[in-house]
Amino acid sequence: MSHYKINELFETIQGEGSFTGQPSIFLRLQGCPVGCSWCDTKHTWEINLDSEVSSDVVLHKTAETDEWVDLDCDAILRIIHSKGFKAKHIVITGGEPCMVDLKPLCEMFEQHGYSCQVETSGTFEILVSNNCWVTVSPKVNMRGGYEILSSAMVRANEIKHPVGTEQHVDDLKALLTLHNITDTPVYLQPISQKERATKLAIDTCIANNWRLSVQVHKYIGIE
């Protein structure tokens, strides 16, 4: 039975990409070595063994912490049912969720009537079900030194790229050319919703017929 290190499990509205506005259950996994400087979930980076806690502690967090609980697929599903969540869309995020094999988890959810979406940096092999929606948010030249995998770019159902400077746009264009990506929807997401980054994203989307992702959940103040 596959086990996963869970940092958070909660129900909300998806605020990014193709599923913006979709009621969703977020399953946040612990662990990420990529090292993005602007990451807004840095508390998920390290897997400290002394931070393992009970599921009750994880489910009742009132602040961001590096605490996590080890759960198998059946236990995760039982918790979702016990919480009475209504959403039927599961977003598996992190951290970097593709550090582990997600296929058993995705297939279990799909067998129980849920759709799955995985959000990944594209730096690890993507092991998911065939029907899982894969959001690749490619992280280029980050501190961890990981390369974007061609297999990840090809598997992506959407590419969601954080931008703050022209260099970020150039990096994305180079990736798309390198991996011959032509038909996959591309979203630009302004880093930290800064005015300059937002204008750059809007102008670039118009120029390239790409799409804008503005992290709606942050604008309206929900998790």
Q: Within its chain, how far is the Cα of 116 from the centroid?
A: 12
Q: Give the position of tokens 């709606």.
A: 216
The more confidently predicted of residues 216 and 160 is: 160
Q: Could you read off the pLDDT of 60-85 as tens digits, one per residue?
A: 998 999 999 999 999 999 999 999 99
Res. 200 pLDDT band, cuts 50 70 90: very high
Domains and CATH numbers, the chain: 3-162 (3.20.20.70)
pLDDT tens-digit series, residues 134-152: 999 998 888 888 999 999 9
**Which residues fall in the annotated binding site for Mg(2+)?**
41
119 half-sphere exposure, CB direction, 13 A CA radius = 20
- In the annotated binding site for S-adenosyl-L-methionine, the residues are 38-40, 95, 137-139
Q: What is the pLDDT of residues 2-13, one digit of tens each?
A: 899 999 999 999
Which residues on adjacent β-strands are paired with residue 70? Answer: 5
d(CA 122, CA 210): 19
Pick out the residues of the known binding site for [4Fe-4S] cluster. Answer: 32, 36, 39
149: closest CA among 181, 185, 187? 181
Reported confidence tier of residue 183, pLDDT bands at 50, 70, 90: very high
pLDDT in tens, 112-135: 999 999 999 999 999 999 999 999
Name the binding residues: 13-15, 28, 32, 36, 38-41, 93, 95, 137-139
Residues composing the chain: 223
- pTM of the full structure: 0.94
Side-chain-side CA neighbours of residue 116 (13 Å) = 23
Query: What is the average pLDDT value for the chain, to the nearest integer?
Result: 94
Binding residues for substrate: 13-15, 28, 93
Specify the higher pLDDT residue, 218 or 117.
117
Opening angle at CA 57, ends 113 and 33, nearest 5: 75
- pLDDT-derived band at 219 (thresholds 50, 70, 90) equals low
Residue 223 class from Cβ within 10 Å (0-12 exposed, 13-18 middle, 19+ buried)?
exposed
Q: Which amino acid is at 212?
A: L
On the question of pLDDT at 173 being above 70, the answer is yes
1: pLDDT strictly greater than 80: no
